[in-house]
Every structure is written in C-alpha cells, then in structure tokens.
C-alpha cells in the first residue's frame, strides 16, 4: 500500500511541475514523438513456375502460375482449342491447370496479372509448345458403351502394345460408380488389365470407364493416343448357388431368394468344378456329344443328347441345362458328366431369368476351380491373390458425376 501511495505522490508532483514550466512557456515537459516506417511492400510479381523454357512440354504437365507480393487477378491459358481449365487456390496466389488439359503438338499462351494492396499491377506472358510423340499406344475397354451385363463380368482394358509402366496406367484408368466400391486392377498379362471389386458387383447400376491416357507413357517414348469414356450398365444381380451335397440350386435375384431347384451335378470321376463361375453363352438347345471331350463312342461313358435351355459355364464344356433323362435323380443324387442338370420346366424358368454374365456358384463337389482361365474365373482368386497382380493395390471407385437436370 505504501508503494502505491508513493507512486501517486510522485505523479502529482510531476503534473504540478509540468504546469509550472508550461506557465513559463517552456516545452521541456512535452512528450517526445518517434515515427518509424516498415519496409515498403514488395511490388507484385507473377511467376509461371511449370512452363519450362524449352518448348517441348508433355501434355500431362500441370501449368502453375503464382503471384509473389500480391494476389492473382487474371490467368488465361489459351491453346488451339480454346481456354485451358484451371483453379485458383484459397489464398488467391496460385493457379493450377487440370492435369490432362493439354493436347499433343500444340502451342499455348499464358497471360497472368497480379495486384497488391497499393493497387500496383504486374503482368507476365509466356508461350510454350507440347511434344508430338512418334510412338503411340491405343486401348479399348469392355463392356462396351451402352452394354447391359450380368454382375459377374469384370471391366477389361486391352492394349495394342505391352505395358511396362503399369502404375501410371492404372492411375489413368478411372471407374465411376453411384457409390464408391473397394476394388483393384490386376494384370492378366502385359496387354490386359482387369478391374473387379472385392465382392461381387451390386448390380442395377451404371458404370463409367474413363481411360485418361493422353500424355501417359505405357513404356518410355510410347504415349497414349487419346482419352475416352464409356458407360455400361449392370443388370439386377442374379446369383445361383449350386450345392452338390444337398442336390439343390438356390436362385437369388437382387439379393432375395426367389427359387430353390432340385438338381444333379457330376458323378464320381466326373465331378463338377467348385467355384464362382460366369455364364458365357445362352442356347435354347444344344447337342451334347462326349466325343468333343475325347470320349470314344465305344466307351460306356459316351453320350450324345440334345439338352434344352443350355447355358455355358466353362470353355471345357460345363453347362447348366435341362436334363429330362435324369429327373429321377435330381434332388437326391449326382449322376451327370459334370454339368448341372434340372427338369426341363425348371430349366426353362432359370434360362429365362438369367443372362450372359450372371453368376453361378458351385460348392461341395470336392473338385476346386481356380482362376485358370477356363471361363471367366476371376472371382476364384482370393482378394490377396488378386492384389498380387496389381501395381497400385486396392482403390475405391470414383463417385459418378452428377447429371445436370436443370433444363429438364
């Protein structure tokens, strides 16, 4: 308390003294005024950082324009087909073009303008050209644009040249679905890539495949010719589960059980392959001749019959079909030479419900069926086996682009 009082006393004496000297016309008690200035702001400057001095730029090179000491006001990149799209960041100081926005063998002009808080303006103009490769690769995707397929069909991209730079190629292939699905690309060989989700396709949806290959090298010096996009549709899911132990086929449509059919599968020594298979073809009737499998007409296992409502599962000759000759065994014994047989009435119903690309899962036969290429057998790979043949591993499909219905 004493120290505060002492301070107040000193303040009073200072005020009195100041008044006295002011009365005398002396300015000794005037407070001193000190003025300092900060360094002048840097004049705005524009830098085009990703357009090299040399003229031969690869088409996937992003063009980056930056403002130093200010913010960007205008950026225009113009080529033979018009303006190049790009985006300004939140700070307003950096503009970046879309990665796949440039063409081969084209000339471009970049004009940029920046400003600072004082209203100073800086501009820059740069010109460059893109490369004109001597070697190109082409590719096409299946299913084709507009196709409607079953949920067992993978997306396949076929290349006309061998691919060495598989990681870059996978990155350039975009799959769009209504909701993201976990999947992966896997290489069947150096000219064929296949995409499947971890689980079966859900069905009843559109899928878009974008091949953004322009500017991408399959191997050094071999560039993608162009970009492409196509859309196909998966029909509602049809999955039939054949159980050789119970002699039944359960049929699921869009995930719901709609029928249970008595069947017969391969007998001992002729067991049907277990695994997930895809319907390859659909015939109203087919002549089944054991001679095509190397069985002599003199053999007790020789047969030649006309099977109604036949749908192929393997290239080697497994079918699902009507088998009126084995109705007595259907539902209680396995008596076929490897096919899945049922009554003609049940076969007609099943034939009408299913299409090429639908799924048949066979289990409990004791004869495994791997991903051996005997049909569309990709679903017989475990997920870890599938990823072993992928350059980039598991990825999610991209969201489908929204459709503008404002004018509808």
Percent of the chain with pLDDT over 90: 64
What is the distance between the alpha carbons of residues 359 and 368, in angstroms, rounded to a whole number?
A: 17
Q: Are 276 and 354 in contact (CB under 8 A)?
A: no
pLDDT value at 13 more than 80: no
pLDDT of residue 360: 98
User: Which of residues 93 and 166 earns the better pLDDT score?
Assistant: 166
Query: Is the pLDDT confidence value at 6 over 70?
Result: no
Helix (H) or strand (E) holding 10, with range, is helix 2-23
- For residue 5, the model assigns a pLDDT of 42
How sure is the predictor about 120, in pLDDT bands with cuts at 50, 70 and 90? confident
Q: What is the mean pLDDT of residues 4-16?
A: 39
Check pLDDT > 50 for residue 298. Answer: yes
More confident residue, 258 or 14: 258
Query: Lowest mean pLDDT: which of 4-8, 113-117, 276-280?
Result: 4-8
C-alpha to C-alpha distance for 170 and 333, rounded to whole angstroms? 47
Per-residue pLDDT, averaged over 306-316, amounts to 95
Predicted pLDDT at 124: 87
Model confidence at 295, pLDDT cuts 50, 70, 90, reads confident
* pLDDT > 80? residue 152: yes
pLDDT of residue 50: 53
pLDDT attached to residue 69: 84
Residue 334 has a CB neighbour count (10 Å cut-off) of 22
Q: Average pLDDT of 55-71?
A: 84
Cβ-count burial 295-312 (b if 16+ within 10 Å, e if not): eeeeeeeeeeeebbbbbb
Mean pLDDT of 96-120: 87
Mean pLDDT of the 376-402 span: 94
21-42 average pLDDT score: 41
What percent of the chain has pLDDT above 70? Answer: 85
Q: Output the six-digit token pair for 53.
A: 């001095």
Query: Quick one: pLDDT at residue 43?
Result: 65
In angstroms, rounded to a whole number, what is the distance separating the alpha carbons of residues 176 and 141? 14
In this structure, of 53-67, 135-149, 186-200, 333-347, the range with the lowest mean pLDDT score is 53-67
Give the residue-averaged pLDDT of 260-264. Answer: 98
pLDDT computed for residue 275 by the predictor: 96
pLDDT: which is higher, 261 or 288: 261
Domains of the chain: 45-130 (2.60.40.3780), 135-236+389-399 (2.60.40.3710), 238-369 (2.40.440.10)
Report the catalytic residues: 321, 339
The Cα–Cα gap between 84 and 107 comes to 12
Q: Residue 8: pLDDT above 50?
A: no
Q: What is the pTM of this model?
A: 0.77
Beta bridge partners of 232: 207
Contacts of 225 (CB under 8 A, 6+ apart): 136, 137, 138, 213, 214
Q: Is 243 exposed, middle or buried (0-12, 13-18, 19+ CB in 10 A)?
A: middle
Q: What is the pLDDT of residue 268?
A: 93
Cα separations in angstroms, 116 against 66, 112, 284, 339, 346: 13, 14, 77, 79, 79
Q: Which residue has the higher pLDDT, 397 or 297?
A: 397
Q: Are 176 and 380 in contact (CB under 8 A)?
A: no
∠269-274-280 over CA atoms, to 5°? Answer: 105
The whole-number average pLDDT for the span 370-378 is 91
pLDDT at residue 247, as a whole number: 98
Q: Which residue would you say has higher pLDDT here, 387 or 30? A: 387
- The whole-angstrom separation of Cα 347 and Cα 26 is 119
- pLDDT value at 18 more than 50: no
What's the pLDDT at 119? 83
Helix or strand holding residue 186 (H, E): strand 182-189
At 402, the pLDDT band (50, 70, 90 cuts) reads: low
Over the range 365-399, which residues count as b (16 or more CB within 10 Å of their CB) and which as e? beeebebeebbbbbbbbeeeebbebbbeeebebee
What was the pLDDT predicted at 62? 86
pLDDT score of 34 more than 60: no
42 φ/ψ angles, rounded to the nearest 5 degrees:
-65, 140
CA of residue 133 relative to chain centroid, distance: 27
| Residues 163-183 pLDDT 10s | 999 999 999 999 999 999 999
CA dihedral of 330, 333, 335, 341, whole degrees rounded to 10: 30
The confidence band for 11, taking pLDDT boundaries of 50, 70 and 90, is very low
379 pLDDT tier (thresholds 50, 70, 90): very high
pLDDT at 378 over 90: yes
pLDDT band at 9 (very low <50, low <70, confident <90, very high): very low
Average pLDDT over residues 190-210: 97
Phi then psi for residue 133, to 5 deg, are -65, 155
């Amino acid at each position: 308390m004493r120290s505060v009082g002492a301070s107040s006393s000193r303040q009073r004496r200072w005020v009195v003294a100041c008044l006295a000297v002011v009365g005398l016309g002396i300015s000794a008690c005037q407070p001193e005024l000190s003025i300092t200035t900060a360094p002048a702001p840097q004049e705005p400057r524009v830098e085009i950082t990703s357009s090299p001095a040399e003229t031969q730029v690869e088409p996937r090179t992003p063009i980056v324009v930056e403002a130093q000491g200010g913010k960007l006001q205008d950026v225009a990149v113009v080529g033979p087909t018009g303006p190049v799209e790009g985006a300004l960041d939140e700070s307003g100081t950096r503009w970046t073009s879309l990665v796949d926005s440039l063409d081969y063998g084209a000339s471009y002009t970049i004009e940029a303008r920046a400003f600072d808080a004082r209203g100073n303006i800086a501009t820059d103009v740069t010109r460059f050209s893109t490369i004109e490769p001597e070697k190109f690769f082409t590719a096409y995707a299946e299913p084709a644009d507009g196709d409607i397929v079953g949920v067992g069909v993978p997306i396949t991209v076929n290349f006309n040249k061998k691919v060495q730079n598989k990681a870059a190629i996978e990155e350039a292939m975009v799959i769009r679905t209504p909701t993201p699905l976990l999947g992966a690309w896997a290489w069947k060989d150096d000219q064929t890539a296949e995409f499947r989700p971890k689980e079966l396709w859900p069905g009843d949806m559109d899928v878009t495949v974008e091949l953004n290959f322009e500017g991408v090298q399959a191997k050094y010096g071999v560039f993608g010719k162009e970009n492409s996009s196509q859309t196909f549709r998966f029909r509602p899911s049809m999955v039939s589960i054949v159980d050789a132990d119970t002699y039944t086929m359960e049929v699921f449509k869009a995930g719901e059980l709609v029928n249970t059919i008595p069947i017969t599968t391969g007998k001992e020594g002729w067991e049907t392959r277990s695994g997930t298979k895809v319907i390859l073809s659909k015939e109203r009737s087919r002549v089944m001749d054991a001679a095509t499998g190397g069985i002599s007409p003199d053999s007790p296992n020789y047969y030649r019959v006309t099977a109604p409502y036949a749908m192929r599962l393997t290239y080697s000759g497994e079918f699902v079909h009507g088998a009126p000759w084995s109705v007595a065994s259907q539902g209680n014994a396995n008596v076929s030479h490897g096919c899945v047989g049922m009554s003609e009435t049940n076969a007609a119903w099943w034939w009408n419900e299913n299409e090429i690309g639908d799924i048949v899962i066979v289990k409990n036969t004791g004869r495994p069926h791997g991903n051996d290429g005997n049909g569309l057998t990709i679903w017989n790979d475990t997920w870890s086996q599938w990823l072993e043949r992928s350059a980039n591993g598991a990825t999610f499909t991209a969201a489908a682009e929204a459709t503008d219905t404002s004018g509808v």
